[in-house]
Amino acid sequence: MIFYGPEKMKIPFRDTPNSHNRKFYYNQDCVKEIVLGYSFFDIHEYNSKKSSDLKAYVSLKTNKKLKRKVLYHILKHNIPASMIRQKINEFGLKPFPVKLIQETCNKYILEFSQ
């Protein structure tokens, strides 16, 4: 997680007693966007036959409860989301805005803006 705010960025767990407990509570209104990392979805979760540059079809493995919770949270609170992807015909990664559509509890469609 990366936190931006009026103070310099810091790792919120570094000076916390029992820092092995990595829970961090925050005001929901502070969340402006959630960016899903490049490896958020396992390569085996993508349906490559149906997916394209602007649309991806994902089937989560049934044991991915935390991943489903993150996606549910984004959808429930209508939080803008992006996903780190490789630039088309270029070298490098960048965030692309993504619209999440839930088909079933384990199946999602990701629609990317250009």
108: left (phi over 0), alpha (psi -120 to 50) or beta: beta
Question: Does residue 106 lie in a domain region?
Answer: yes
Model confidence pLDDT, tens digit, residues 10-48: 555 555 555 555 566 677 787 889 999 888 998 889 998
| CA–CA distance, 1 with 57 (Å, rounded to integer) | 25
User: Is residue 8 a part of any domain in this protein?
Assistant: no
The number of domains in the chain is 1
Domain-embedded: residue 54: yes
Q: What is the pLDDT of residues 38-92, one digit of tens each?
A: 889 988 899 988 888 889 999 998 777 888 989 999 999 999 999 998 776 777 8
